[in-house]
């Protein structure tokens, strides 16, 4: 006898089946000309003579490799995780539903030209073909995760394909903002220190521009686009805003945590690196592009690798979450990659609410009713939840501050352009030169930095995103006034976006550092203290670099102590007057002479452990002496953080916020470094360094004994997690992998070499291409075969031509019709 739950599931299963046919399940003709060839790492290369068939094969291959992961990706994007995994996921589903506008997305899909519509419909049809095979042979083909969780895969439509892009990628990687955090910080500092001192401390902690911060092309002085006309923090009072109440600030942070996960909710998303080398800087005269996008370390990987060949496409590369766009790769003419962008495309608005009705807001002198969308959130083993999603003219409500009669809405310049943005990324793979590359870049409305290289020896980058034309009265670091006085005046032209072709220095380098001089944004903390220096120093040190040397830049950067390079000279200077046998002088010398590498000594500790131990003990003591007297407890807790990650952290390491403040205090404004507030208060920096270094030595001796040679710092491990950034299980829990020591590397590492003699590419996307685990718990042979490549800083050769694929062929698949 069917239970109520099974009846609901059966009904939804039939609905999904109907939708799948409505999306256009393949006919005999649709699959007849599709061939999938998998290479020796399981990477599929799809061959077809029309767009629909090509993406049919792509969808089929993704479903074969990642069926459970993609089911959970889709549910995460659309807010239906709780339906199959239970009440623990209600908070995530609420945010996902609120951020996704199904009607807008469907309108965008409806206006596509046939060839572009074929991409989405073909992908869905191929995906569904594999689902039908799995349902027909459950025992052999059903992934174990479905069996364990007690539900089955659902069919896909073109809308589902697009919703993954919007719900999982855009709404999470491209929706970050710091306006609420900034407002809360300013309020906290003013309450604790008084208006004038609190404002000065705020301006020191949240500076708008550090002219000493490294840019992608350090030798090119690009102008800040006209958005710089907006008011800078501290230049005018924020008297148009009401203060945020502490409970509302916490509520907003909880929403951000549900949307972005801990890796991004703690600040703006800042992960991914890239460097591009021109032929004159390359030892063999080739153009070389390296990309290490840091989208998290997961098992299965967030990255999917594929080759698409036919119907105007001839591309090999990788992409997050099986998207129908290749984010990192080559088409044999050009290569491209990307890092998280720094342009400000999102604004938070503070809406004034009617005290008698919190669903009415003040706009252009009148009270307006908020738009209301009602949905039902289904919960496994629980009652349905009625959702009410409210929105103003600026966007959906993110948080309510009932005590202050305000609400906060998020406006994104790319809303309504989500599909167009994805199409720009899809079709850049067909570009053959810089002009064609920029033509597709112009379509991308979300903030991202693209990198370019070609066979003719050209290198370049472009900072993408639809830049709002903001009013001069709007302070970019804080929420805008929602009353209609701070509306965008359209968008800036693409010519205002930063871009550069063939820089004089012969290379470009990014680790989410400043795109151009003068760049400001609500969440920017661009500083001279920047991890990109671990990359740039290696590039600048050599007149030319071999292919291996360009690849190995990642090795040294991934294991670098990201604070060390800035303070060795200050430590040496502080002890210069001490006797040679003084323990403080010897310790400072030991730290200053250390190469700053956090490398395993083979016995579970870091090599040069005494230097590591001393530096890691000294820095927090120095920050405590510098910052604690001036900062409220909660603010100090953030700025006392050194940036050293705990075991199994999902974050990409970067210099600590406190390290930047220490650097600025030592600089005392030299070179234009931010200096709105002096945390030293006239104290002698050398004396403070000596005192805290002595404290560190005393502490270490008490913990580990007096002999410095025995001091050890255990290596910190990292994890390829089975849960996504927002806490959704998308693979078998037993499939998680722990690697030690921590390596600050990309989710995939890609190196493309382009020359007149040909193009080559090597990559590694750990743990592996496949996520399939059968009913008995046996994983596919390609489940984790790229993990050793990650651990050893190696890569697999990617096969770009038909002959190369055939030479490394593992099997041929002709998808079912």
CATH code of the domain containing 588: 1.10.1400.10
674 located within any domain: yes
Known binder of ligand: residue 797? no
712 located within any domain: yes
Of 120-124, 228-232, 414-418, 496-500, where does mean pLDDT reach its minimum? Answer: 228-232
Q: Is the pLDDT of residue 7 over 50?
A: no
Q: Is the pLDDT of residue 536 over 50?
A: yes
Segment 668-673 long-range contacts (CB within 8 Å, at least 24 positions apart): 671/211, 671/212, 671/528, 672/210, 672/211, 672/212, 673/210, 673/211, 673/212, 673/528
Q: How many helices (H) and strands (E) does the chain have?
A: 27, 26
Q: Is the pLDDT of residue 415 over 80?
A: yes
DSSP 90-138: HHHHHHHHHH--HHHHHHHHHT--HHHHHHHHHHHHHHHHHHHHHHHTH
Reduced to 3 states (helix: H, G, I; strand: E, B; else coil), residue 351 is strand
pLDDT of residue 176: 83
Q: Is the pLDDT of residue 130 over 60?
A: yes
104 located within any domain: no
Q: Is the pLDDT of residue 309 over 70?
A: yes
CB-based contact 13:152 (threshold 8 Å): yes
pLDDT of residue 263: 55
Return the CA Rg of the chain. Answer: 27
Q: Is the pLDDT of residue 1 over 80?
A: no
656 located within any domain: yes
Q: Count of CB atoms within 10 A of residue 810's CB? A: 14
Known binder of ligand: residue 39? no
Outline where 516-673 has alpha helix (H). Answer: 533-541, 547-558, 568-574, 583-593, 609-627, 633-639, 657-667
Start-to-end Cα distance in the chain: 34
Mean pLDDT of 21-41: 67
39 closest CA partner among 294, 309, 287:
309
Mean pLDDT of 303-331: 98
Mean pLDDT of 430-434: 99
Q: Is the pLDDT of residue 27 over 60?
A: no
More confident residue, 238 or 539: 539
91 closest CA partner among 727, 798, 777, 800:
727
Reduced to 3 states (helix: H, G, I; strand: E, B; else coil), residue 736 is coil
pLDDT in tens, 141-198: 999 999 999 999 999 999 999 999 999 899 988 988 899 999 999 999 999 999 999 9
Q: Is the pLDDT of residue 396 over 60?
A: yes
515 located within any domain: no
More confident residue, 142 or 217: 142
Q: Is the pLDDT of residue 25 over 80?
A: no
Residue 307 pairs in a beta bridge with: 45, 316
pLDDT of residue 566: 97
Q: Is the pLDDT of residue 731 over 70?
A: yes
Helix, strand, coil distribution of the chain in percent, nearest 5: 40, 20, 40
Q: Tell me how long the chain is.
A: 817
pLDDT in tens, 197-214: 999 999 999 999 999 999
Q: Is the pLDDT of residue 259 over 90?
A: no
**Dist. CA 194–CA 671, nearest whole Å:** 29
Q: What is the mean pLDDT of the chain?
A: 92
Q: Is the pLDDT of residue 725 over 90?
A: no
Most confident of 260-264, 267-271, 660-664: 660-664
- Residue 262 — pLDDT band, cuts 50, 70, 90? low
Mean pLDDT of 737-745: 96
303-310 and 44-47 strand pairing: parallel
pLDDT of residue 120: 99
Provide the number of structural domains found in the chain: 1
Domain, as residue range, for 612: 560-718
Mean pLDDT of 264-289: 84
**Dist. CA 608–CA 599, nearest whole Å:** 9
329 located within any domain: no
Mean pLDDT of 690-694: 99
7 located within any domain: no
Q: Give the angle 4-6-7 at the CA atoms, nearest 5°.
A: 65
CB-based contact 210:479 (threshold 8 Å): no
- Residue 16 — pLDDT band, cuts 50, 70, 90? very low
pLDDT of residue 439: 99
CB-based contact 168:76 (threshold 8 Å): yes
pLDDT of residue 236: 45
Q: Which residues are catalytic?
A: 272
Q: Is the peptide bond before 767 cis (omega within 30 degrees of 0)?
A: yes
739 located within any domain: no
Known binder of ligand: residue 179? yes
């Amino acid at each position: 006898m069917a239970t109520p739950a099974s009846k609901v599931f059966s009904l939804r299963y039939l609905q999904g089946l109907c939708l799948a046919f409505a999306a256009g399940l393949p006919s005999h003709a649709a699959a007849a000309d599709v061939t999938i060839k998998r290479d020796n790492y399981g990477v599929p290369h799809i061959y077809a003579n029309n767009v629909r068939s090509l993406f049919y094969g792509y969808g089929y291959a993704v479903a074969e490799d990642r069926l459970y992961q993609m089911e959970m990706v889709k549910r995460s994007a659309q807010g239906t995780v709780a339906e199959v995994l239970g009440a623990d996921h209600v908070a995530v589903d609420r945010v996902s539903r609120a951020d996704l506008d199904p009607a807008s997305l469907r309108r965008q899909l409806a206006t596509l030209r046939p060839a572009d519509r074929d991409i989405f419909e073909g992908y869905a049809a191929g995906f569904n073909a594999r689902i039908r095979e799995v349902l027909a042979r459950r025992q052999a083909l059903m992934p174990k995760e479905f069996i364990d969780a007690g539900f089955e895969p659902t069919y896909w439509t073109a809308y589902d394909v697009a919703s993954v892009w919007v719900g999982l990628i855009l709404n999470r990687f491209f929706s970050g903002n710091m306006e609420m955090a900034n407002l809360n910080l300013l309020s906290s500092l003013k309450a604790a220190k008084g208006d004038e001192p609190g404002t000065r401390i705020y301006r020191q902690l949240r500076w708008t521009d550090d002219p000493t911060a490294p840019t992608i092309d350090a030798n090119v002085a690009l102008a800040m686009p006209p958005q710089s006309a907006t008011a800078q923090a501290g230049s005018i009072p924020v008297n148009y805003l009401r203060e945020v109440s502490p409970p509302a600030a916490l509520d907003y942070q909880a929403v951000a945590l549900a949307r972005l996960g801990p890796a991004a909710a703690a600040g703006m998303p800042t992960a991914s690196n890239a460097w591009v080398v021109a032929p004159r800087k390359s030892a063999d005269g080739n153009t070389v592009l390296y990309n290490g996008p840091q989208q998290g370390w997961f098992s299965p990987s967030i990255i999917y690798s594929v080759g698409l060949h036919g119907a105007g496409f001839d591309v090999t590369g990788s992409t997050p979450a099986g998207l129908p766009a290749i984010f990192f790769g080559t088409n044999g003419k050009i290569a491209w990659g990307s890092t998280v962008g720094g342009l400000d495309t999102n604004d938070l608005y503070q809406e004034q609410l009617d005290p008698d009705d919190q669903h009415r807001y003040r706009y252009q002198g009148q009270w307006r009713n908020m738009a209301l969308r009602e949905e039902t959130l289904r919960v496994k083993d629980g009652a349905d939840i009625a959702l009410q999603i409210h929105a103003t003219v600026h966007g959906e409500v993110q948080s309510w501050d009932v005590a202050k009669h305000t609400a906060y809405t998020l406006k994104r310049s790319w809303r309504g352009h989500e599909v167009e943005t994805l199409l720009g990324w899809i079709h850049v793979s067909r570009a053959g030169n810089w002009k064609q590359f920029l033509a597709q870049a112009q379509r991308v409305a979300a903030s991202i930095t693209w990198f370019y290289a070609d066979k003719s020896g050209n290198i370049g980058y472009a900072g993408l995103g639809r830049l709002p034309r903001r009013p001069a009265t709007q302070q970019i670091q804080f929420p805008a006034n929602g009353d209609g006085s701070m509306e965008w005046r359209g968008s800036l032209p693409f010519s205002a976006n930063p871009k550069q072709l063939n820089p004089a220095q012969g290379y470009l380098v990014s680790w989410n550092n400043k795109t151009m001089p003068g760049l400001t944004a609500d969440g920017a903390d661009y500083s001279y203290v920047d991890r990109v220096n671990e990359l740039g120093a290696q590039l600048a040190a050599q007149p030319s670099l071999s292919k291996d040397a360009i690849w190995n830049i990642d090795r040294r950067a991934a294991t670098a102590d990201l604070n060390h390079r800035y303070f060795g000279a200050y430590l040496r200077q502080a002890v210069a007057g001490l006797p040679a046998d003084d323990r403080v002088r010897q310790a400072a010398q030991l730290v200053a002479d250390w190469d700053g590498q956090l490398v395993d000594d083979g016995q579970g500790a870091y090599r040069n452990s005494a230097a590591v131990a001393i530096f890691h003990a000294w820095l927090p003591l120095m920050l405590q002496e510098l910052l604690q007297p001036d900062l409220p407890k909660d603010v100090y807790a953030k700025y006392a953080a050194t940036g050293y990650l705990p075991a199994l952290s999902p974050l990409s390491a970067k210099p600590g916020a406190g390290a930047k403040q220490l650097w600025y205090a030592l600089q005392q404004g030299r070179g234009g470094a931010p200096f709105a507030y002096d945390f030293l208060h006239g104290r002698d920096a050398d004396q403070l360094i000596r005192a805290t270094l002595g404290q560190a030595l005393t502490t270490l001796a008490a913990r580990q004994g007096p002999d410095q040679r025995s001091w050890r710092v255990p290596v910190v491990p990292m994890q390829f997690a089975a849960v996504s950034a927002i806490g959704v299980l998308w693979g078998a829990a037993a499939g998680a992998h722990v690697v030690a020591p921590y390596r600050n590397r990309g989710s995939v590492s890609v190196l493309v070499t382009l020359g007149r003699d040909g193009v080559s590419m090597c990559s590694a996307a750990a743990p592996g291409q496949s996520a399939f685990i059968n009913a008995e718990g046996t994983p596919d042979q390609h489940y984790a075969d790229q993990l050793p490549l990650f651990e050893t800083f190696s890569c697999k050769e990617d096969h770009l031509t038909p002959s190369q694929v055939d030479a490394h062929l593992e099997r041929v698949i002709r998808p079912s019709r």
